[in-house]
Amino acid sequence: MTSVPDIERQQEHQRRNLRQSIVLLAGIGLLLVIATAIVWGLPGAVMTAAVLAGLFVLAPRVPPEAVMRLYRATYVPAGGSDQLSSLVDVIAHRAGLPSRPRLYVIPSMTLNAFATGSPRHSAIAVTEGLLRRLTLREISGVLAHEISHIRNNDLEVMNLADVMTRFLQLLSYVALILAALNLFAMLSGEQVVSWWTVLLLYTAPAISSLLQLGLSRTREFDADREAAGLTGDAIGLASALRQLESDTGHFWEDLMFPVPGRRVPQPSLLRSHPTNDERISRLLSMHGQPQHEPIVIVEQPMISLVGLGPIEMRPRYRWPGLWY
């Protein structure tokens, strides 16, 4: 039995995405405008508003290939004999996507996966660490989760959140510079800018993550439910979430020095998912419900898709922060 949502449910999902995009833009935008107005006055606030408008228009139009180049991702050709390509083919067909997502592997030992683009032109990236540490059954659940995001057109709001959070990270650097200037000015009994302004700029990424957390809950639960239906295996995705638990960062890591260095790669929305315990509990409650027939998976040794030998976990600088 198919688990593809009916047209009415998809339309409601799209309407919710639109509302979330507006709330996200308004909330983070207001934070940015206030912060820049305090530091640079009215001209700074006007310039920030113009930049935000540009991000709103341009962010959804960034080609998936450009995002993958930022991560030095390796393209996995479609139609190959490898296990991953076959899984993407099957799940994309079950999801009824107008075109198959392009698959990439990122040379990083973190456990991560994300999608970018639109239903007609999308890409999915998985890390080498995820391929080495998860079983193929668990990986199929992760791929189905990302394909569900693609089908539901969640990527526009997710990419918008990612780009705006990068902009907020720049303000954290500005906060560090202003704090240093304040410390030097204190020697002469002066103050360059209010310490409250410094605090606001420094905590801006964390505030943004809290906002994203409130917006992401329903979207993530929907993607989990549909992923379980597409693979016919809710247990596989639940098991993958247990493995990912230790590698998923939290919003308070945005406060740790150096800002915005993170132990998890972008996109930033990955740090503001609902708690894995709650997601796992919901998935386990779905076990045995009507859905697609389980995908037949034969576990085989996973061969590295980005090179042989161990991968060194050295942080590489990617504007505007440290990515692993």
Residue 149 tokens, joined: 């995001």
Report in angstroms the alpha-carbon separations of 218 from 14, 27, 255, 274: 12, 18, 26, 9
- For 306, phi then psi, to 5°, come to -125, 10
The beta strands (E) that lie in 107-263 are given as 113-118, 121-127
Report in angstroms the alpha-carbon separations of 22 from 215, 245, 276: 11, 30, 27
User: Which of the residues 138, 146, 156, 220 is marked catalytic?
Assistant: 146
146 is catalytic: yes
Nearest alpha carbon to residue 119 among 140, 95, 139: 95
- Bridge partners of 180, per DSSP, are none
User: CA-CA distance, 73 to 133, in Å (whole number)?
Assistant: 18
What single letter denotes the amino acid at residue 204?
A
User: CA-CA distance, 123 to 113, in Å (whole number)?
Assistant: 11
| Enzyme catalytic residues | 146
